[in-house]
Amino acid sequence: MYRVLKREQIVPNIHLLVIETNNIHKNAKAGEFVVVRVDEEGERIPLNLVDWDEKSVSVIFMEVGTSTRKLGALKEGDVIETLAGPLGRPTEMIEDKSIICIGGCYGIGALYPVIRAFKQNRNRVITAVEGRSSFLLYWQKKLQEYSDELYEITRDGTKGYEGHINVFLEEYMKDHKVDLIYCQGCTYLTFFVSQITKSMGVKTIVGLNPIMIDATGMCGVCRVIINGETKFACVDGPEFDGHAVDWPNLLARRHTYHSQEQKSLSFYECERYG
């Protein structure tokens, strides 16, 4: 059992969860993840490490189904059943380059350790956070600490650039040389960014979030197709070249258990609220 030190809703439907542990920090690196399980009946959920220290690890998650709804109801002092990590391959570090780091939804928080590591490796870091509206953006001050420039993109125009991320990318890259684009967020965002940057010819690394179970490469549930080859996001990723991902395959697999997820959530809500 692992004790919850903090659970905070930072914007609607997005939560910060700080979990007590005294060993994960010893090997944790930017780009890695942990697996959490809220109780004996819960799913094993892979969540990006967004921060860590000698006493705890921090993750950010979005409420989408039964298990994340249960996570969102936790209070300080509660316990979760499972915490395993760090898992996955860390972000590949480069030096003295210009990097645009893009985050949306839970991916905004996932950017934090990555841009920190990029900055510590003497890179120029341009951070762009995007959302439907300004009230869905968060952690700008934390991200600014390791960013040379920080931009906000909202689809409704309530803050920063109006529209999708392509508006910002197309305008920014007219006048600036960029060596790498790094993106964290929902599958649609990583797909969309990859399509834009492919036409621009700029290398793009994306964090993928396929369904996982054991997260050690044995079950095969998190398989993705990269350059025509089968890879496992848990041990070969979770970060891949966005231009090499078989996006139709990944998008289809993300919906494999959609009906079961809806039934589970409906049953949970009925039990909880009557």
257 contacts 211 by C-beta, under 8 angstroms:
yes
pLDDT along the chain (274 residues), means of 10: 96 97 95 94 91 97 90 96 95 97 96 98 98 96 97 95 92 93 95 94 94 83 93 95 95 66 55 59
Percent of the chain with pLDDT over 70: 92
Nearest to 116 by CA among 221, 8, 28: 28
Domains annotated on the chain, with CATH: 2-87 (2.40.30.10), 98-253 (3.40.50.80)
User: What is the model's pLDDT at position 3?
Assistant: 97
The string of pLDDT tens digits covering residues 213-227 is 888 888 888 899 999
* pLDDT attached to residue 268: 45
**pLDDT for the residue 41:** 83
- Whether residue 210 is preceded by a cis peptide bond, meaning omega within 30 degrees of 0, is no
DSSP 8-state class, residue 228: T
**In this structure, what DSSP letter does residue 245 have?**
B
User: What is the model's pLDDT at position 90?
Assistant: 97
Structure confidence at residue 204 (pLDDT): 98
SS3 call for 78: coil
CA distance 209 to 187: 7
Question: Binding residue per annotation — 270?
Answer: no
234 is in an annotated binding site: yes
Residue 89: predicted pLDDT: 96
Q: Are strands 161-162 and 149-154 parallel, antiparallel or unpaired?
A: parallel
Q: Find out whether 19 and 5 touch, Cβ atoms under 8 Å.
A: yes
